[in-house]
Amino acid sequence: MTALERRSAFSLASIYALRMLGLFMVLPVFSLEAQHYHGGDNEVAIGFAIGMYGLVQACLQIPFGLAADRYGRKRVIVLGLLCLALGSVIAAMAESVQGLAIGRGIQGGGAISAAVSALLADQTRTAVRTKGMALIGASIGLMFALSLGIGPVLNLWGGLPLIFWSTFVLSLAGIGVILYWTPAEDHTLLKTAPLTWSQTRALVFSPDLLKLDYGVFILYGVQLATWMALPALLIQAGIEKSSHGWFYLPAVLLSFVVMGGTLFPMERKGHLKPLFLSSIFLVFLVQFGFLYESTHTPEVWVLEILVFLFFCGFNILEASQPSLASKIAPPQARGAALGVYNTLQSLGIFAGGAVGGWVAKSYSSSGLFLTCSVLLLSWVVVSWRMNYAHHTQVSPR
């Protein structure tokens, strides 16, 4: 990567990291702490407040992606981070579960994933784009692991308000990064004649993009569903809840090493398809490992290996999928294409939590892991005939 590409990749990954750390920190403690607010005796209301972020994100990913194509990536990113900051203030000052839901909904209004990915795609060459996307994927995985340790500590010091105020500060830091560190965007893209709706629709809903959209829905649905049952397995294995973040961290960090040693060289050699399909199959096998552990007395070392293997597959898929999507879509429709992609990602997060919780409650954790296995197998079938080569971008007719 050139110096400019590295600057773009690291700065945009930092924006993702700052944003996701703030959003993830609340997850380990929200359902418990919300019970102390007005209306906290209503479990449905608490669940609604948790899910509001994902629902609003899903609704706004495509509009934000279209806006990024038409008005510029940086403007949309700043607007999204301001929404995150405003929602954090409202949630920090809330005294009821309904107030928390409003704050979480406004936080979700910062649907900048498509704009960030599109800007990174604009500022990197095709040959190195997966590396840039991998940095973003790595930042998400790392922040997820760190948040499980940091969130409970901040909650101990100041409860949910301190976590939300911290998110407010992180969102302002993200605005500083996009304005003063991220390279200037190429405004010639805005001067290009905008695509008509029919042209955009034909490009965004191409068969290969639809397969990637299906894949990211399954990937994030399985991830969230897995974490509906995995913490209980860790507790059964004798790991205290306060130590879960430090259990995940080494597995996440080591998985980044595996990703760097496999994804980049295999992509250069034109072997992305076998690696991609193998990664899906690896996550599929991990679900069977969790299924076995859920029916026996779980062992800490077995769970550590399974979590490590899960993140090996997850990180490779997390990095390669948006990179493939950005190569398929032409620059004028890149924001829209990634908007659809991130919409399915948000829906996967919501479905994984909501449906995963219902399956775990109705059919136990064993039924949950078995369901995830079936979904992953369907993804292998859908992805088998996808085009993994570098795509030639054709101007719309």
Assess whether 166 and 215 both reside in one domain: no
Q: What is the DSSP letter of 192?
A: S
193, part of any domain: no
Determine the structural domain holding residue 283 and report its residue range.
198-389
3-state secondary structure of 28: coil
Instruction: Evaluate the CA torsion angle 47, 49, 54, 60 in order and state its sign.
Output: positive
Q: Are residues 78 and 118 in the same domain?
A: yes
Same domain, 27 and 144: yes
Looking at residue 356, its amino acid is: G
Residues 9 and 13: their CA atoms lie apart, in Å, by 6
Q: With b meaning 16 or more CB within 10 Å and e meaning fewer, what string describes 339-357?
A: bbbbbbbbbbbbbbbbbbb
Which pair of structure tokens corresponds to residue 87?
A: 């929602």
CA dist 260 to 67, 131, 219, 315, 326, Å?
33, 9, 20, 10, 20
Query: Is residue 396, in this structure, part of any structural domain at all?
Result: no
60 burial type by CB count under 10 A (0-12 exposed, 13-18 middle, 19+ buried): buried
Amino acid residing at 98: Q
pTM reported for the whole predicted model = 0.77
Are 14 and 155 within one domain? yes
Verify that 90 and 223 share a domain, yes or no: no
70 and 145 in a single domain? The answer is yes
Cα Rg for the chain, rounded, in angstroms?
20
Three-state SS at 140 = helix
Q: Which of 180, 212, 236 is the last residue of a domain?
A: 180
Q: In the prediction, which pLDDT does 199 show?
A: 63
Domain containing 247 — which CATH number?
1.20.1250.20
pLDDT beneath 70, residues of the chain: 43, 187-197, 199-204, 242, 389-397
* Cα four-point dihedral sign 361, 366, 372, 377: negative
Instruction: Please tell me whether residues 215 and 314 are part of one structural domain.
Output: yes
> Is the same domain home to 234 and 260?
yes
Question: Would 85 be classed as within a structural domain?
Answer: yes
Instruction: Say if 192 falls within a structural domain.
Output: no
Query: Within this chain, do residues 124 and 244 fall inside the same structural domain, yes or no?
Result: no
Residue 293 one-letter amino acid: E
User: For residue 194, which amino acid is it?
Assistant: P
Residues 212, 359, single domain; the answer is yes
DSSP state of 25: T
Amino acid (one-letter) located at 232: A
In a domain, 226, yes or no: yes
In a domain, 336, yes or no: yes
Task: Give the DSSP per-residue string, 233-288.
Answer: HHHHTT--GGGHHHHHHHHHHHHHHHHHHHHHHHHHTT-HHHHHHHHHHHHHHHHH
Are 30 and 157 found together in one domain?
yes
Beta bridge partners of 38: 96
| SS3 state of residue 38 | strand
Whether 191 is in a domain gets the answer no
In a shared domain, residues 257 and 313? yes
Where a domain ends, among 150, 180, 210?
180
- The total number of structural domains that make up the chain: 2
Does some domain include residue 395? Answer: no
